[in-house]
Structure 1
């Protein structure tokens, strides 16, 4: 972890969730902003359309554990949200989620992305985000990812332990980035069913169009271009949004090494990922 996520640890752990809060949980770079925008549009697109053009997404859906003085205090932002439900995001592994979310039986939307694409996306994110450690060169990064020496820890632990939690806590909706790319409308339907929402066909069509990657990338209220710690000259926050971009980064030898390691770490055969669609 970096101090931006541990500075305020006690207050984060004591955060008081409300029963109607919705927690969006992901490993970094797995589609967090995408799902945040979908939820924001589902709940407030019709009742408060002005939000979409005047408030950046990071203020509409605060990042619970972030603590960058004079810029972002995730807890304060979450506590001061005027909306109901409050939409809150976290990258915490399941064991670090504040207890009150479970005690209040809050709904949680978890998004997982295949490890190879997730690694590549995280690499480019670390290059452009000044609050992240320097990624160094690709081959070292590749090994560090496999060893779990990342901000927010091991991808393998993250996706597996959230999957396990879903077996005992019924209020988790576990989504896959690849499914969303394949058929966004279908995945929004499943999400609505989990949340008990029934938008009109027209609303759904509008939302599905608004959250297509190219539209989000062009949308300054969503693409994080207003955040000073991100250097878009190095790489945009929203880069490609593709499944299979790992093929442009992994060498044949790296892919073989990765596959071997992956088999050892992914013991639960019910949790399956697609690295291409």
Structure 2
């Protein structure tokens, strides 16, 4: 039986902490699904749960979204590389229990560890990006509030955590390497990879949803359905959903702010992040989303 690793380990240059094993990640990389499968590729704390709920509503209908809760998410939208602490069950094994079609999968892996059929078989894949400063603030809170990750939290304050984030010394490694590689994939293969920004989902919800529907070949929502989808996936609605009952998954939902980092970053940390962004992206216009 595979031993569950509840400590830190590095695999092919990427740090993993918590409920993962080398086997769970490598088997996810070699995972083979169906032509109709849809992937969601995100760096942690970039709107993953929010986008999962949006996609459940778009693909399966608003009634399914209304009636699903935290306990349903793992079956409707498996976290492929996750290895459950209690049952030692691999996330990709949950695929066998799925009855909905098309099937929805999420992962946080960089391109070289991600399911390679995304590239070889051109599976539909949605990539969500978020400003690294807001991402880092949210990830710091996640380390401090998630019972699994509290043991890995070695920083006494946000500034110390930001230094770890800059070095890629956090789960899933460097945000800058992760993002640069996925941006390149989305630009080179736009027929099966859709790039969306967390900030656009916040400020241009309707337009971004239209882009997702068009990419997936789904009908455009009417005004009533669009409004219902926005309400059902609002921070307030999802906070209530994920904090109630016995799931105790409230740490999954944060305030969802855009630009909240401005009240928390020191000038020194801001300069370090901007330097890292310019070093990674040069004069690429995309840095306007990250600076």
TM-score range, shorter chain: 0.7 to 0.9
Checking the alignment, whether the CA contact within 8 Å between 1:243 and 1:275 is kept in structure 2 is no
Checking the alignment, whether the CA contact within 8 Å between 1:62 and 1:78 is kept in structure 2 is yes
Bigger drift between 242-251 and 93-102 goes to: 93-102
* Gapped regions of structure 2 (runs ≥ 5): 1-15
Alpha-carbon distance, 1:126 to partner:
0.8
Checking the alignment, whether the CA contact within 8 Å between 1:126 and 1:135 is kept in structure 2 is no
Q: In the alignment, which of 123, 140, 152 is matched to residue 172 of structure 2?
A: 152
Bigger drift between 15-24 and 203-212 goes to: 203-212
Cα offsets for 1:3-61 (capped at 9, x unmatched): 62334234323311211110000100001111111110111125746742585323321
Match of 1:218 in 2: 240
Match of 2:119 in 1: 102
Q: Distance between the aligned counterparts of 1:110 and 1:272, measured in 2?
A: 16
Match of 1:41 in 2: 57
Q: Distance between the aligned counterparts of 1:46 and 1:265, measured in 2?
A: 39
Asked if residue 183 in structure 1 is aligned to residue 204 in structure 2, the reply is yes
Q: Normalized against structure 1, the TM-score is what?
A: 0.88
Q: In the alignment, which of 271, 274, 277 is matched to residue 259 of structure 1?
A: 274
Cα 1:161–1:53, aligned 2, differ >3 Å: closer, same or farther?
Answer: closer
Match of 1:248 in 2: 263
Q: Distance between the aligned counterparts of 1:145 and 1:224, measured in 2?
A: 31
Checking the alignment, whether the CA contact within 8 Å between 2:165 and 2:174 is kept in structure 1 is yes
Cα 1:274–1:46, aligned 2, differ >3 Å: closer, same or farther?
Answer: closer
Aligned length: 269
SS at match of 2:289: coil
Checking the alignment, whether the CA contact within 8 Å between 2:71 and 2:247 is kept in structure 1 is no
SS at match of 1:250: coil
Asked if residue 6 in structure 1 is aligned to residue 21 in structure 2, the reply is yes
Match of 1:161 in 2: 181
Match of 2:81 in 1: 65
Q: Distance between the aligned counterparts of 1:265 and 1:46, measured in 2?
A: 39
SS at match of 1:82: coil
Cα offsets for 1:52-103 (capped at 9, x unmatched): 2585323321111001243553111123211111100000001111222333
Asked if residue 126 in structure 1 is aligned to residue 148 in structure 2, the reply is no
Checking the alignment, whether the CA contact within 8 Å between 2:62 and 2:229 is kept in structure 1 is no
Checking the alignment, whether the CA contact within 8 Å between 1:94 and 1:158 is kept in structure 2 is yes
Cα 1:25–1:121, aligned 2, differ >3 Å: closer, same or farther?
Answer: same
SS at match of 1:67: coil
Q: Distance between the aligned counterparts of 2:245 and 2:139, measured in 1?
A: 17
Checking the alignment, whether the CA contact within 8 Å between 1:23 and 1:89 is kept in structure 2 is yes
Asked if residue 136 in structure 1 is aligned to residue 152 in structure 2, the reply is no
Asked if residue 23 in structure 1 is aligned to residue 45 in structure 2, the reply is no
Q: Distance between the aligned counterparts of 1:131 and 1:55, measured in 2?
A: 18
SS at match of 2:125: strand
Q: Normalized against structure 2, the TM-score is what?
A: 0.84
* Gapped regions of structure 1 (runs ≥ 5): none
Checking the alignment, whether the CA contact within 8 Å between 1:64 and 1:74 is kept in structure 2 is yes
